[in-house]
């Protein structure tokens, strides 16, 4: 059995019916020419050959007696592939909007915790003739490291695939559940190991804390107080900051990666800065239209890795940065520079104190204690009136620069599908793939019923930033954007560009 780290387990304990804690991906596939067989059956055969290549496919949770400690991972010796690999056909006409709605519904349901925490769907019926692959994995078992393992297991670099070596035979225990004594022993051992890790961290934590207190920037207390005041000033309440339901809306949009790189180079910022500036301009347009744009700047919760170079441990090691989105600034370039400065400052601060953040820690009776608190927070709708930590989540997952293939089909796109949460009903996650930057927008449907409008504004904002790198080509549009008081209308030209739609 393998123990969950404290951070991994938090994704289990914070989960509720309204807030599933799984992540996913929507891939649009181009079937090989002359495809005459049953592609779904080919997919099942392909996945069956590769289950042993990634641990997440073969392990399930075993809960501790009375939920006195975190559960553990145990091997599942009887995987029901028909449960995990499923087939879904869109009704006619098989539009992109129907595909988006299907992904939103599939992403809203909880994974079965009595089985390995993953599902895979083949979705056909698209009028384009393409096929969609939707993957769904629990965040407790998948971080960036495990996600790469899953990608290496499922995808190939060539259409013909690769030869998969069969797994080595294992001794079957034929034991559906572990005994109480075995589980209690595992809980005690894991708790002692977690305490030992914290003790070993104490010297480093003390050194970092001393450096922060004694450095030239001033006392640590003063720095933390300043940061708290800044965050309070930066985070006004918006329509996105409320308790959510389990209903979801989803939209995907694509922009050329080369254009994002050109924007970043032209204005001496990072690619992630450009992504956040694009989202910030999108939110400004969207909320201005309904006259709900706050006078103070909005902010974003941005996940940041705590993983040290060379660390290949398959557990979650992540913190969150709160970045100013400068939505109170009308000038797109000033907004971009403010976002870049805020992101740089937050990253520098994290590098100073990340040694103080433990990723594995013991909590007595964590399952029922934290789960109960999370359920109370959601069902009491406290997020509707408590100050929000940020207005939304913006995340950037690791990119893949080369084309991939799945069961012989070419992968055209990869739209991430992530996690809205109580108090932050909108999540925007991006992934670069083979010269594209794919945006996956997901939200509580009660908060944003149709994300396509937000997606269209996103394309228009990207186009504005890109045209600013072309000298005077967009000077008139730039001037109008900076000075207009009226809401910005939809760009019908951008709206009708099929290559920026979800099916590429």
Question: Looking at the annotation, which residues are catalytic?
Answer: 139
Give the separation between CA 400 and CA 397, rounded to whole angstroms.
Answer: 10
User: Which tokens belong to 160?
Assistant: 């013909």
In 3D space, the residue among 5, 97, 47 whose CA is nearest the CA of residue 450 turns out to be: 97
Give the separation between CA 257 and CA 271, rounded to whole angstroms.
Answer: 9
In 3D space, the residue among 313, 321, 306 whose CA is nearest the CA of residue 354 turns out to be: 306
Give the separation between CA 288 and CA 487, rounded to whole angstroms.
Answer: 5
Asked if residue 205 lies in contact with residue 356, where contact means CB atoms within 8 angstroms, the answer is yes
Instruction: Report which DSSP code applies to 384.
Output: G
Give the separation between CA 479 and CA 463, rounded to whole angstroms.
Answer: 14
User: Which tokens belong to 327?
Assistant: 């939505």
Give the separation between CA 395 and CA 393, rounded to whole angstroms.
Answer: 6
Report the relative pairing of strands 131-138 and 118-124 from DSSP bridges: antiparallel
Give the separation between CA 273 and CA 294, rounded to whole angstroms.
Answer: 22
Give the separation between CA 433 and CA 404, rounded to whole angstroms.
Answer: 9
Instruction: Enumerate residues 6+ apart whose C-beta is below 8 A from 18.
Output: 243, 244, 245, 246, 378, 379, 422
SS3 176: coil
Give the separation between CA 72 and CA 67, rounded to whole angstroms.
Answer: 11
Write down the number of H helices and E strands in the chain: 14, 15
Give the separation between CA 230 and CA 210, rounded to whole angstroms.
Answer: 23
Give the separation between CA 20 and CA 255, rounded to whole angstroms.
Answer: 29
SS3 432: strand
Cis peptide before 93 (omega within 30 of 0): yes
CB atoms within 10 A of CB 312: 8
């Amino acid at each position: 059995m393998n123990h969950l780290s404290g951070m991994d387990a938090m994704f289990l304990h914070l989960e509720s019916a309204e807030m599933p804690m799984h992540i996913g991906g929507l891939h649009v596939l181009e079937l090989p020419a002359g495809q005459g067989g049953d592609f779904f059956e080919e997919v099942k055969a392909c996945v069956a050959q590769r289950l042993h290549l990634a641990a997440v496919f073969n392990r399930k949770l075993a809960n501790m007696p009375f939920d006195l400690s975190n559960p553990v991972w145990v091997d599942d010796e009887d995987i029901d592939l028909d449960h995990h690999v499923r087939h879904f056909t869109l009704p006619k006409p098989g539009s992109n909007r129907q595909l988006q709605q299907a992904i939103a519904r599939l992403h809203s349901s909880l994974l079965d915790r009595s089985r390995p925490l993953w599902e895979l769907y083949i979705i056909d019926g698209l009028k384009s003739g393409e096929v969609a692959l939707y993957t769904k994995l629990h965040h407790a078992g998948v971080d960036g490291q495990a996600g790469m393992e899953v990608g290496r297991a499922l995808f190939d670099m060539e259409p013909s695939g690769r030869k998969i070596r069969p797994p080595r035979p294992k001794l079957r225990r034929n034991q559906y559940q572990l005994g109480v004594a075995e589980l209690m022993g595992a809980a005690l051992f894991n708790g002692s190991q977690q305490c030992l890790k914290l003790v070993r961290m104490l010297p480093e934590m003390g050194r970092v804390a001393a450096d922060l207190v004694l450095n030239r920037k001033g006392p640590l207390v003063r720095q933390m107080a300043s940061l708290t005041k800044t965050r309070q000033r930066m985070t006004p309440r918006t329509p996105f900051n409320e308790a959510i339901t389990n209903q979801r809306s989803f939209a995907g949009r694509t922009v050329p990666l080369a254009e994002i790189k050109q924007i970043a180079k032209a204005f001496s910022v990072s690619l992630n800065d450009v992504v956040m500036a694009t989202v910030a301009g999108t939110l400004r347009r969207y909320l201005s239209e309904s006259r709900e744009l706050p006078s103070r700047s909005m902010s974003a919760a941005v996940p940041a890795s705590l993983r040290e170079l060379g660390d290949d441990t398959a557990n979650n090691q992540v913190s969150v940065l709160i970045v100013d989105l400068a939505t109170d600034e009308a000038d797109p370039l000033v907004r971009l520079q403010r976002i870049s400065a805020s992101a740089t400052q937050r990253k520098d601060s994290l590098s100073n104190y990340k040694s103080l953040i433990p990723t594995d820690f013991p909590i007595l009776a964590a399952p029922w204690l934290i789960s109960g608190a999370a359920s109370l927070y959601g069902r009491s709708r406290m997020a509707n009136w408590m100050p929000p930590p940020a207005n939304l989540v913006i995340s950037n997952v690791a990119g893949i620069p080369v084309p991939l293939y799945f069961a012989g089909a070419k992968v055209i796109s990869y739209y991430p599908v992530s996690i809205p949460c109580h108090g932050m009903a909108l999540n925007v996650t991006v992934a670069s793939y083979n010269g594209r930057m794919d945006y996956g927008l997901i939200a509580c449907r009660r908060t944003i019923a149709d994300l396509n409008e937000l997606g269209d504004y996103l394309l228009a904002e990207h186009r504005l930033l890109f045209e600013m790198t072309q000298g005077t080509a967009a000077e008139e549009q730039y001037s109008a954007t900076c000075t207009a008081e009226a809401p910005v209308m939809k760009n019908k030209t951008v709206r009708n560009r099929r290559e920026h739609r979800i099916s590429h």
